[in-house]
Structure 1
Amino acid sequence: MGTDQDSGEFVREALGVAERITADGSSPWPVEAGRYRLVGARACPWANRVIITRRLLGLEDAISMGIAGPLHDERSWRFHLDPGNVDPVLGIEYLREAYEKAVPGYDEGVTVPAMVEVASGKVVTNEYALLERDLSTQWRGLHRDGAPDLWTDPEAIDEIGKGIFHDVNNGVYKCGFASSQRAYDRAYDALWSRMDELSEHLSTRRYLVGDSITQADIRLWVTLVRFDAAYHGHFKANRHKLTELPVLWAYARDLFQTPGFGDTIDFEQVKQHYYGVHASVNPTGIVPKGPDTAGWTTAHGREELGGRPFGDGTPPGPPPESERVPAVG
């Protein structure tokens, strides 16, 4: 992450290892069950997008998952929740080690999600947007029976996804890391203009594109679910709390209660990361006790809008025991 010195605007770093894993031989990395390990973090929305996609498609047996803890330092994400502070499969303490195996002398950002080849310990890709698309397309042969189609209308999904990325997903970061009032004001206005637009869009339809969950919903939801816990206060995105926005709050609860979404969220790790790592924003490192999360399991009423969450598919089963998160409330 960085800030433009002239404008004070937040600038997201380029992704450092943007290879692809394909089934058609178009890359050096073939689709193969058990070959790769997805490294994510419960705190990170970008990783959460891929974690949800993997859950919905039923790829848990084909792609194992390691979870970096919420706290890290300049050396990168660290496996401090695992015994001995070491990922049990990759045998590393810091994710940077896998990046350096792939690119000796690596000096770009160390981010999650990252797909790592288990045998070599090398990061194959940290390109989250392409990875989530490839999980739906290149990995189709390993999907569970009943896996949903998350790309029912790729053009519409990408079109609405652009605005979500720039103004919402990245927009909250632009608010939080702005170093000038002008940059903050511009990001804040763009965020809330887009949130109002999305609220209007969702007031008469259950999902963003079509009548079932698509990748567009995953992209928006990972920011909404963290909004009150982190972005409203920590990033000064504070016109309203999510709980004060009737349409988006109901939409977010609907998805939270859908298998594959809420069962990937650990609110404590979200707060520990944002308030504990961003010293420039929260120099004391104090982590707030709130907000109350009990509301996430209350009735949302979105069923009245119709729609079929998984289209012609079926819900995923429960997450593996090792991947379960604490219940809310």
Structure 2
Amino acid sequence: MSEDAAYVDKGKEFKRDTNYITTRITRDGADGYPVEPGRYRLIAARACPWANRTIIVRRLLGLEDAISLGMPGPTHDQRSWTFDLDPDGKDPVLGIERLQQAYFARDPEYPRGITVPAIVDVPTGKVVTNDFAQITLDFESEWVDYHRDGAPDLYPQALREEIDAVNKRVFTEVNNGVYRAGFAGSQEAYDAAYDRLFTALDWLEERLSKQRFLVGDTITEADVRLFTTLARFDPVYHGHFKCNRQKLDEFDALWGYARDLFQTPGFGDTVDFEQIKQHYYIVHKDVNPTQIVPKGPDLANWLTPHGREALGGKPFGDGTPPGPVPQNERVTPGHGAG
């Protein structure tokens, strides 16, 4: 089961299970898992917005050589994400067919959903953590010795209080808000979710009409967390989740902001629109019983000029963009924009 593979509960409001394996990988190894390059494998499906965050942050910080990446395919059954895109249907490092196997190696009676992202301890084959919010924060603060030269500070100490406040509202009202609408079990629950979502999007539109990035004048953790929802809005959430007051490209500031990030190395080059659509429209059978995947929308507009430079700020501050995407981690040709 994926982080977002919830099911419509008739008459009920969607509630996300937020109980995760909260073991952390830290410099002091307090939880038994010290920072150690080459020891851990990030399992992150491109289709999942929560996993997409970790792929973006890993790339922005240049942690590719320190933490390897395994990518399940976009669809899965009730049991688990599977490595169906890999030769012989097995992760080439862990040697497993299902992510479930790594969870059961940690706890043979693991009772919750098998979610991505997850970090696996390669020597033991056990999941260390699936706490998606903490994973990126730890990439930023615990893995600093292995950041690339010119890596941005995505969680600057002076801005953390504001970043945390923005992240809280964005998670509650936008990241999770689209699911609240999509999995609403009654008209009343849907109407309330729809209103909450667009109230928050209007707040973001106003905020981003005056500043290039969500917090400060460079990209931060807050931008990463909002971006992965925006990237999925027109291809999925507008239609599939009935979040259809307007499309993302009908906002002014939000649409410019989303394109600005998409065209920044580390963001758009991690997005696979085809896998995104396959995941939502095939896996969510309660919402889309036919499992038909729409051909549209045309996504070439993600590459059009955004004009956000006029607001000032620099994506990487005094740092530099990440280099080219490693060959074995590039999005399949034709699955991105354009």
Fold agreement, TM-score > 0.5? yes
TM-score under structure 1 normalisation?
0.98
Shift of 1:5: 5.8
Q: Which amino acid in structure 1 is aligned with residue 55 of structure 2?
A: I
Contact 2:152 2:316 in 1 (8 A): yes
Partner in structure 2 of residue 293 of structure 1: 299
Partner in structure 2 of residue 215 of structure 1: 221
Shift of 1:14: 2.9
In 2: Cα distance, 1:4 partner to 1:156 partner: 34
Partner in structure 2 of residue 81 of structure 1: 85
SS class of match (1:175): helix
SS class of match (1:37): strand
TM-score under structure 2 normalisation?
0.95
Shift of 1:16: 3.5
State which of 271, 289, 312 in structure 1 corresponds to 2:318: 312
Contact 2:9 2:184 in 1 (8 A): no
Shift of 1:183: 1.0
Verify: 1:9 aligned to 2:9, yes or no: no
Deviation sequence 1:76-114 (CA, Å, 0-9, x none): 111111111111111111111100000111120111000
Partner in structure 1 of residue 187 of structure 2: 181
Partner in structure 2 of residue 198 of structure 1: 204
SS class of match (2:292): coil
State which of 277, 284, 294 in structure 1 corresponds to 2:290: 284
Verify: 1:160 aligned to 2:169, yes or no: no
6 and 78 in structure 1: CA distance in 2 versus 1, 3 angstrom threshold: closer
Partner in structure 2 of residue 115 of structure 1: 119
Partner in structure 1 of residue 337 of structure 2: 328
Counting matched residue pairs gives: 329
171 and 304 in structure 1: CA distance in 2 versus 1, 3 angstrom threshold: same
Partner in structure 2 of residue 141 of structure 1: 145
Shift of 1:15: 3.3
Percent of aligned positions that are identical: 62
SS class of match (2:70): strand
Show the 5 A alignment for 1:10-159.
10-152=14-156, 153-159=159-165
Q: Which amino acid in structure 2 is aligned with residue 154 of structure 1?
A: R
SS class of match (2:150): coil
SS class of match (1:97): helix
Show the 5 A alignment for 1:193-272.
193-272=199-278
Q: Bigger shift: 136-145 or 18-27?
A: 18-27
Q: What stretches of structure 1 of length at least 5 have no aligned partner?
A: none
Deviation sequence 1:237-280 (CA, Å, 0-9, x none): 11001111111111000000000000000000000000010000
Q: What stretches of structure 2 of length at least 5 have no aligned partner?
A: none
Shift of 1:235: 0.4
Shift of 1:7: 5.7
Shift of 1:4: 9.1
Q: Which amino acid in structure 1 is aligned with residue 283 of structure 2?
A: V
In 2: Cα distance, 1:328 partner to 1:229 partner: 11
Deviation sequence 1:117-137 (CA, Å, 0-9, x none): 111110000001111100000
SS class of match (1:65): strand
